[in-house]
Structure 1
């Protein structure tokens, strides 16, 4: 079967390190299957995984026609020119196999949440939660930034975020926001942190939790230190109505950022973690360990 033709402009629509990233993801899945993917094993969870699989099989050749091509074979399939792999258009019977296929095809990490009724907690003076919440029913996460994604499976949104400082202040509004998210609507935000290494698979270590032993103001190897950015997206799937929370991870060496002239601005943002309505975010994101060294370098 001949591949679709593509123009030179098509060749720049996917990141240049795409092949390297998906190969890294394959190795992570091989070595840590129980950590990086899972489902709660219900028909609803499988239906959400199958819908996501079908959506991406349809979307990818439209968005990246120089990379992905629909093959009119029997059964129909999708050819990935970057990796040389062909995958079936129909999702496999086991949703874990479907998640693995997606993990070898896209760089984004994928979390599927389904809304359900809950028993509201009696008012204790804090914000009142709505009578529904969203439960994590399936996930594929090769590049966690300091948490074990398997520990979140089956939890409600508020319990997933228990370690996050001051989440209780915004938890009810987050639930209402998730509930209002409409099919066809996507919401995007950026989340950032600093890490003193270039590892993408970090199931522990980036965050500082209460009781952790911490070396305050440690000297760090600036050559290995990066700004880690997640481009996060929320989307509601049209059939199952599950919410897809996905994110793509970028690593920017702080040396490059300083050379680009944004060092002082980044230092100000890092120190700003101590302020605002969640000052403990400074500790949670590890600023107590690397903040002094990194900010001094960025302003030097």
Structure 2
């Protein structure tokens, strides 16, 4: 014969157990970390789909595309693919586009941000690997390196003059900034939220040298930079600046290195390397 037995646990003891469970839950109440991919776009309608399709499932929570007043149907294609689209009313430049990308990513609660060109030149399959280095606390900034070997870079279609310029500038930047990065001029970059909150990127150029300024700022503010290999893809639809603009960019990059050291030596303080001002300042 089985006799049912009512619990003899006192109300105070039961309450104590409930409170213990609540404390355990509170101690592990971290919200899921949010990853946002941002794409600075200009006339990228032919390549957006392929770039998006290669992003591994579950790696990013949202994709934000900022269109810099394209003359093709980039906006329409991106919207049809379910991407969050921000439109510039006039062409502001590559740097201006990235500023909008990062502002909106921060506003939308990103803990990690991956910037990738939507022109399919960079392999979006490696997004998860890049972010994982940041999540593990190994790096704060991760770049996609196209220069694993000279043969691979040239076979992938990188023009010889661009390869030589990349090697020259990257070597100088590594020495000047005390780094050992494979490709300082990559269009694939991943950041922690702390990097974007700390670096005063709004003071940067609206042109291509924005990227060089950002990395010099990352070094100045003590962030750790690493890289992961990405395949090289140069083809007709992939964006690429011409020789004249490349030369201008290269000279501007050397100028950034000079500004970095002049600021460090207290010879000439530069606003690029000053603490970001908050609204309460």
TM-score by length of 1: 0.27
> Structure 1 or 2: larger strand share?
1
State which structure, 1 or 2, has the greater radius of gyration over its C-alpha atoms: 2
> Structure 1 or 2: larger helix share?
2
